[in-house]
Amino acid sequence: MEAERIPQNRLRAEKAAGERKTASLGSLKDNLTALQTSIKALSGETTDAFGVRSAKIANANSTWTSSASVGAPTGTYQVQVTQLATKAQRTGAADVGRSLSPTTDVSGVSIATLPIASSIRAGEFTVNGARITVASTDSLQDVFDEISTQTGGTVTASYDPVSDKVALNSASEIVLGSANDSSNFLSALQLYNNGSGSVLAPTALGVVSVSAAISNANLRSPVTAVDGSGNGSFSINGVSIDYNVNNDSVQNIVARINASNAGVTASFDRVNDRFSLTNKTTGDVGVAISESPGGLLESLGLGGGATLSRGKNAQFAIDGGPVLTSASNTFDDSSHGIAGLSVTATSETTESVTVAGDSSGAKSKVEDFIAKYNAVQSLIETQTRTTTAADGRVTASTLSGNRELSDIAKALRNKVFAAVPGLTGAVQRLEGLGIDFKTGTNELEIKDATKLDVGLRDNGDAVRSLFGDSTDGLVKRLDTYVKQITGSTGSLTTQTTSLAKQSKDIDEQIATMDRRLTQQRQLLESSFIRMEEAQSNIQNQLASLNNAFGSGSGK
């Protein structure tokens, strides 16, 4: 049976050789596709690789930034900024929070929940050298009493509901605090040494509780422009913001404003108990608000009591020309007319901006094209190579003798070497960019890097035509040829299809042989079994004869 399988083994070896050829052709097709992708990056279909520009500020210490888009005119520009653009801001009235107490009686005002700018820490503080202890369970009046007790009545503390301020009074100079105080009571209530016997907080103490529901936010002016369920609304720059005084906190509304399309940033100054709206963009534009009387913005001090600081437009000039105006501190061609140039100023000064060709990206693309082209040529050379050893033995590669692959290598060489019709000057073919073939090979190399750099930098139009000419540029030539040989009727596709058919035919032949060999094995096994049965019968007959006549019966 092993002898009978020899033709079948030959077929399997032939199929394996065909599969190796198919794999090699597949690798070549992949490399050709990679070459297509690489060369198209030089065609200008998506971006112009040869019109890339860089924009640099001459002053290395400048905080300005600049950029230039593809095709921007090269040159150096003096940009003088006499006024930077600023943002408009609507600043609300201060002290919009309700006072700590409506009367001088602060016995019910808890230290733990005191609505002031800074929470009070429990601990100790010093007045005229006396240690005053503050507990979180104390009322404000408890602390006042403790001050009086510990100073022997020489210092008294009181609260004025009209000014919403705490005062300390003594017949002599009051000295507040010590290095080892653990409570911030004095600073939280804005009580500081002034060299006299009368210390008074400089501003009102009560502030808005931004984390509480609006109805309990300690607002001096209550919100009344709501329906029976507590719903209200206002608009900023025409964008409506809804709220509910029972469910929403002030900080919820601040976040809602900032996340909206109103184009402003809302913020809260806790020290001055003041809200503000600042435009997110610069320029001389206002901040418009609208709501019913008694609305939330009015309660936050952003209504009639607010002041508007208009934003400013930037003022600048190019090369000593007329003063130009921009709402932004980023000056683009819409404001200065230089196509593709963008300059962002951060100071009122003069900076020199140079726009120049940037060949780094184009050079990388050219180098990638060379690498992909060489990969194709190297694969063809490796797969079609035939070598002869010193002893005369010849070793063939997977695709040795494949003339079509050799023709592909030659055709690619001719297409990248030829000049592009219509071009004049130094750049008419790759050699004009310092690119030529490695001696004795079909592979390319950069033989003169300086020549390539100069060509890309100074002859962008010619290089663009060399690669991207729609009729006979390198991109058009190579792309058309690769499509031709890898298409449905191309030589690579035809060879792959033929190898696939051969593999299928071999599989069918092997299957036919398997069926015949199976039948032959069954026949041999059947004959062997019958032979063993015959031998067994003969042995039985012989044993019977021996028993009948005995072993000595022949004497």
Counting Cα atoms < 13 Å in the Cβ hemisphere of 122 gives 8
Whole-angstrom CA distances from 326 to 77, 84, 280, 329, 415 are 17, 9, 16, 7, 52
pLDDT for the residue 157: 96
Pair 453, 435: CB distance under 8 Å: no
DSSP 127: E
pLDDT for the residue 555: 47
d(CA 202, CA 212): 26
d(CA 39, CA 29): 15
Quote helix, strand, coil % in the chain, to nearest 5. Answer: 35, 20, 40
- Token pair listed for 171: 């017949």
- Token pair listed for 234: 């206002």
Counting Cα atoms < 13 Å in the Cβ hemisphere of 366 gives 27
Helix (H, G, I), strand (E, B) or coil at 510: helix
- Candidates 300, 311, 309, 310; CA nearest to 92 is 300
| pLDDT tens across the length of the chain (555 residues) | 777 778 878 888 888 888 888 888 889 999 999 999 898 888 866 677 788 889 999 999 999 999 999 888 889 999 999 999 999 999 999 999 999 999 999 999 999 989 888 889 999 999 999 999 999 999 999 999 999 999 999 999 999 999 999 999 999 999 999 999 999 999 999 999 999 999 999 989 999 999 999 999 999 999 999 999 999 999 999 999 999 999 999 999 999 999 999 999 999 998 899 999 999 999 999 899 999 999 999 999 999 889 999 999 999 999 999 999 999 999 999 999 999 999 999 999 999 999 988 888 888 999 999 999 999 999 999 898 887 777 778 788 888 888 888 899 999 999 998 888 887 878 888 999 999 999 888 899 999 999 998 888 888 888 888 888 888 889 899 999 999 998 888 888 888 888 888 888 888 888 888 888 888 888 888 888 889 888 888 988 888 888 888 655 454
Boundaries of every domain in the chain: 6-49+360-492, 54-82+325-357, 123-200
* Identity of the amino acid at 71: G
- What distance separates the 2 farthest-apart alpha carbons in the chain? 164
d(CA 204, CA 136): 22
d(CA 85, CA 312): 5
- Candidates 288, 262, 338; CA nearest to 74 is 338
- Residue 267, beta-bridge partner list: 276
Residues in the chain: 555
pLDDT for the residue 44: 67
d(CA 326, CA 312): 9
d(CA 241, CA 261): 10
User: Based on the number of CB atoms within 10 Å of its own CB, is 391 exposed (0-12), middle (13-18) or buried (19 or more)?
Assistant: exposed
- Token pair listed for 94: 């201060």
- Per residue, the 3-state secondary structure of 347-404, as one string, reads CCCEEEEEEEECCHHHHHHHHHHHHHHHHHHHHHHHHHCEEECCCCCEEECCCCCCHH
- Per residue, the 3-state secondary structure of 139-205, as one string, reads EHHHHHHHHHHHCCCCEEEEEECCCCEEEEEECCCCCECCCCCCCCHHHHCCCCCCCCCEEECCCCC
- Token pair listed for 359: 């060949």
pLDDT for the residue 502: 87
- Phi and psi, residue 265, nearest 5°: -115, 120
- Residue 245, beta-bridge partner list: none
DSSP 262: T
State which H helix or E strand residue 463 sits in: helix 460-468
The total of other beta-carbon atoms located within 10 Å of residue 283's CB is: 19
Pair 282, 87: CB distance under 8 Å: yes
- Candidates 11, 88, 35; CA nearest to 510 is 11
Radius of gyration of the chain (CA): 47
